[in-house]
Amino acid sequence: MTEERAQMPSPDPPSSKGQEAQRTFNKITDYYDLMNRLMTLGRHAVWCRDVAARTRVPSGGRMLDVATGTGVIALAALKKYPNSTIHAVDFSDRMLTEAASKPGASAIRWQHADANDLPFGDEFFDAVTHGYLLRNVDDVERVLAEQYRVLKRGGRVVILETCPPQGLLRYPVTLGVRVLIPLLGQVVARDRESYAYLQKSTLGFMTPEEVVAILRRVGFASIAWKKKFFGTHMIISAEKQ
């Protein structure tokens, strides 16, 4: 089994939705960690550690963090599993540069890659993680199928995502998200446009049940999920059997 597929000189251009997401994340890199802390009242780093812990990477194993951004999940996994090999990929060069500059980041293998076509061989990883990836892709099923392909039998995928609030809190929380995220973007990052996009992708994404249905179609089993932060976030785990 080879570690990586043959690499092209440059990745294929992303789709229209991917291009919009790529432009957005390249623009907000300098404020990304701060905004995540503010928008989640400091819970983002805790959730990323939870995601890393749920992978159960064995000693000497390999983990892939897709859409790694500034590397919060990847670095949390390295701390949790210091004897493992952590690969982290993203399609934003600016995000990768920021992630690779953090303390301890030299131990992680950073790489530019497209989530639709991961440059790794079949059944190569013991675990795959990602945060806020699925809401920014055109074909969620294709992206999850790629992760299924690179996972070993018994390997786990752990997902951190936003989800639309439901129940009694649906309307006040939705109003809060619509107002707060663009406002914070304007005040902190001075970029209301980018955070208006993130607000729309947050409220417009799938429910946990919809993501679970796709995971099952792809072939995953032992699926579990829980909501966070007034029902606006979710962590989902599943296994390849």
Higher pLDDT, 184 or 70: 70
On whether 70 is known to bind a ligand per the annotation, the reply is yes
Average pLDDT over residues 161-183: 86
On whether 115 is known to bind a ligand per the annotation, the reply is yes
Instruction: List, in order of start, the domains of the chain with CATH numbers.
Output: 16-240 (3.40.50.150)
Count Cβ atoms within 10 A of the Cβ of residue 27 and give its class: 0-12 exposed, 13-18 middle, 19 or more buried. middle
Average pLDDT over residues 162-189: 86
At residue 170, φ and ψ (nearest 5 deg) are: -55, -50
Tell me if 127 sits within 8 A of 64, measured CB to CB: yes
What is residue 205's three-state secondary structure? Answer: coil
In the DSSP assignment, the letter for residue 167 is G
Q: Report pLDDT for 193.
A: 84
Nearest-10 crossing angle of helices 16-28, 93-100: 40
Average pLDDT over residues 42-56: 97
Q: At residue 7, does pLDDT exceed 60?
A: no
In the DSSP assignment, the letter for residue 42 is T
Q: Report pLDDT for 94.
A: 96
On whether 114 is known to bind a ligand per the annotation, the reply is yes
- Helix and strand numbers (H, E) in the chain are 9, 7
Confidence tier at 203 by pLDDT (50, 70, 90): confident
Higher pLDDT, 70 or 7: 70
Q: What is the pTM of this model?
A: 0.89
Average pLDDT over residues 214-240: 96
On whether 90 is known to bind a ligand per the annotation, the reply is yes
Average pLDDT over residues 150-170: 93
Residue with tokens 């032992």, as numbered in its chain: 222
Q: At residue 11, does pLDDT exceed 60?
A: no
Q: Report pLDDT for 166.
A: 86
Confidence tier at 16 by pLDDT (50, 70, 90): low
Higher pLDDT, 192 or 109: 109
Average pLDDT over residues 16-38: 87
